[in-house]
């Protein structure tokens, strides 16, 4: 038996899961001088580094390079069909992961003073965990176990070869025809990237594409994907998956049979909580995740749940935000609570689609007709014209007093362009703040200022203002 068998550890903080949420919490607590144990059964860095944000954006970047070779015609640059070495593309993806990996490594966190256990943890009491040969007892336990891909209940799906975000980046053979189940952000990002790299791609979505986003803006993304040759099947009821001579086949409710060489399942995620033995610690949970209050504390007052495992927001930036809330509320005892109104998200298609706060539909449900909607088209933006990227817009929603309720942008680099709106919402700024800042010219960011400024168009150039200016013009020069 190991000399460490049943060894008792009593840290100030025990964190289960070394993804984005767990690493931020561990680093923060350790740098505050606390004794921290971090338990991780799989890869340091979690889904974001190894299977999510980092590899997907690296693949998207490679696909953008390929597409640029096709798109030079309007600029006077002869377009060519790129020669794609897909194995080298995936080497690029692996290289990006490797470059970032040291930031999330065991060595870095041990250097910060964190004790890292490469074990699977489960509760054996309200404040006790078993992790391999270690018994861990702590007054502050943080669950940050993330999520994993969901497999929709389609007959035969589990029996046919399929990819998920956890395996697609290990594939080194360009699909001849990639079938994608799911028309959300992950599905469409991967569909466009593979199409640009030379694969035929068909996306099947049971409901609407990018259903959580404003349809006025999401339609711009869907149109672009269709223009690039991605086959989009909305309202597709898949009744069965089966093997085919060339790979896989999906049978639809209308009798059609669509065959492909590869199948990617991107139909949502489920929290990774099934091996934790939560009931032994009195922790309430559902299929959607661990139940938490506004401070991210569970029904067990000694346990917090942050990141994907609580089922609130499956975004890396939210994992970091929630970890910071744990540090503030649990360690500094500041009454910090999660503010759902400042949650942004971005779909990294081309063009990108970014959003923060309320969209128009939700704002009308909550405020009725007491809202104002302002827009500015990229067709009216000089920088967009120079780049020939005029399919897009900035759209913001305010209340009648000009308080910003939310904003959405579909444009190149929309994830960057949304950030002033994120700041405005987090600081409770009004539309006048966005209308009065001075952006450099020519930039896409001017579209946000112009959208905000349009809030005042009717008032500024209306009949009453014109009457007043005419009266003032007759007075002596001031």
- What does the pLDDT look like over 199-239, one tens digit per residue? 999 999 999 999 999 999 999 999 999 999 999 999 999 99
Q: What is the predicted pLDDT for the residue at 48?
A: 93
Q: What is the predicted pLDDT for the residue at 1?
A: 35
Q: What is the predicted pLDDT for the residue at 474?
A: 81
CA distances from 421 to 190, 280, 367, 411 (A): 27, 44, 20, 15
Taking the model in full, what pTM does it have? 0.94
Query: Per-residue pLDDT averaged across 315-343, rounded?
Result: 91
Residue 68 has pLDDT above 80, yes or no: yes
- Residue 415: is it exposed, middle or buried by C-beta count within 10 angstroms (0-12/13-18/19+)? middle
How is the chain split into domains, by residue range?
7-149+270-340, 157-267, 351-460
Q: Mind listing the pLDDT tens digit for each residue in 8-46?
A: 999 999 999 999 999 999 999 999 999 999 999 999 999
The residue that leads in pLDDT, 148 or 461, is 148
CATH class as words, domain 351-460: alpha beta
The dihedrals phi and psi of 380, each to the nearest 5 degrees, come to -100, 15
Mean pLDDT of the chain: 95
CA distance 222 to 24: 35
Q: What is the predicted pLDDT for the residue at 24?
A: 97
CA distance 308 to 323: 12
Percent of the chain's residues with pLDDT above 90: 90
Residue 423 has pLDDT above 90, yes or no: yes
Residue 2 has pLDDT above 60, yes or no: no
CA distance 256 to 417: 42
Out of 82-91, 336-345, 412-421, pick the least confident.
Answer: 336-345
Query: Which residues contact residue 318 at a Cβ distance below 8 angstroms, ignoring those fewer than 6 apart?
Result: 307, 312, 343
Query: Per-residue pLDDT averaged across 379-387, rounded?
Result: 98
CA distance 65 to 83: 11
Q: Mind listing the pLDDT tens digit for each residue in 429-464?
A: 999 999 999 999 999 999 999 999 999 987 767 777
CA distance 249 to 263: 9
CA distances from 363 to 197, 214, 359 (A): 39, 11, 6
Q: What is the predicted pLDDT for the residue at 470?
A: 77
Strands 404-411 and 352-357: antiparallel
Q: Which residues of 280-293 are buried (b: 16+ CB within 10 A; e: fewer)?
A: ebebebeeebbbbe
The reply to whether domains 157-267 and 351-460 share a CATH topology is: no
Residue 3 has pLDDT above 50, yes or no: no
Which pair of structure tokens corresponds to residue 157?
């799906």
Residue 101 has pLDDT above 90, yes or no: yes
Query: Per-residue pLDDT averaged across 121-149, rounded?
Result: 97
Q: What is the predicted pLDDT for the residue at 6?
A: 63
- Residue 363: is it exposed, middle or buried by C-beta count within 10 angstroms (0-12/13-18/19+)? buried
CATH class as words, domain 7-149+270-340: alpha beta
Residue 139 has pLDDT above 70, yes or no: yes
CATH class as words, domain 157-267: alpha beta
């Amino acid at each position: 038996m190991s000399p460490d068998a049943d060894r008792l550890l009593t840290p100030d903080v025990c964190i289960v899961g070394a993804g984005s949420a767990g690493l931020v919490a561990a680093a923060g607590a350790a740098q505050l001088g606390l004794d921290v144990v971090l338990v991780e059964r799989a890869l340091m860095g979690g889904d974001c580094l190894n299977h999510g944000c980092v590899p997907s954006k690296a693949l998207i970047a490679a696909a953008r390079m390929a597409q640029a070779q096709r798109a030079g015609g309007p600029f006077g640059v002869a377009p060519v069909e790129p020669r794609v070495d897909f194995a080298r593309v995936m080497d690029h993806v692996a290289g990006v992961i490797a470059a970032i990996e040291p930031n999330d490594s065991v060595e870095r966190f041990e250097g910060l003073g964190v004790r890292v256990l490469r074990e699977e943890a489960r509760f054996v009491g309200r404040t006790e965990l078993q992790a391999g040969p270690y018994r861990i007892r702590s007054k502050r336990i943080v669950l940050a176990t993330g999520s994993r891909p969901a497999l929709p209940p389609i007959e035969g799906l589990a029996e046919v070869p399929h990819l998920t975000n956890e395996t697609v980046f290990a594939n080194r053979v360009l699909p001849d025809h990639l079938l994608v189940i799911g028309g959300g952000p992950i599905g469409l990002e991967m569909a466009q990237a593979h199409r640009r790299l030379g694969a035929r791609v068909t996306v099947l979505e049971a409901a609407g594409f990018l259903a959580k986003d404003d349809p006025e803006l999401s339609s711009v993304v869907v149109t672009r994907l269709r223009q690039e040759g991605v086959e989009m099947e909305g309202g597709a009821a898949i009744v069965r998956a089966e093997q085919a001579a060339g790979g896989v086949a999906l049978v639809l409710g209308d009798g059609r049979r669509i065959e492909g060489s590869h199948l990617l399942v991107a139909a949502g995620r489920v929290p990774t909580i099934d091996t934790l033995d939560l009931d032994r610690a009195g922790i309430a949970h559902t299929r959607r995740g661990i139940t938490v209050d506004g401070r991210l504390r569970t029904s067990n007052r000694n346990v917090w749940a942050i990141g994907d495992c609580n089922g609130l927001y499956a975004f890396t930036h939210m994992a970091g935000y929630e970890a910071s809330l744990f540090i503030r509320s649990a360690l500094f005892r500041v009454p910090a609570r999660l503010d759902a109104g400042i949650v942004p998200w971005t779909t990294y298609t081309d063009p990108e689609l970014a959003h923060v706060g309320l969209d128009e539909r939700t704002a009308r449900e909550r405020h009725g007709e007491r809202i104002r909607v302002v827009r500015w088209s990229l067709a009216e933006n000089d920088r967009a014209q120079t780049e020939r990227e005029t399919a897009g817009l900035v759209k913001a929603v305010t209340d009648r007093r000009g308080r910003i309720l939310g904003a959405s942008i579909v444009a190149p680099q929309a994830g960057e362009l949304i950030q002033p709106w994120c700041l405005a919402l987090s600081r409770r700024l009004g539309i006048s703040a966005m209308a009065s800042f001075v952006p450099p010219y020519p930039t896409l960011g001017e579209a946000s200022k112009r959208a905000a400024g349009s809030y005042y168009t009717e008032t500024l150039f209306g009949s009453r203002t014109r009457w007043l200016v005419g009266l003032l013009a007759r007075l002596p020069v001031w």
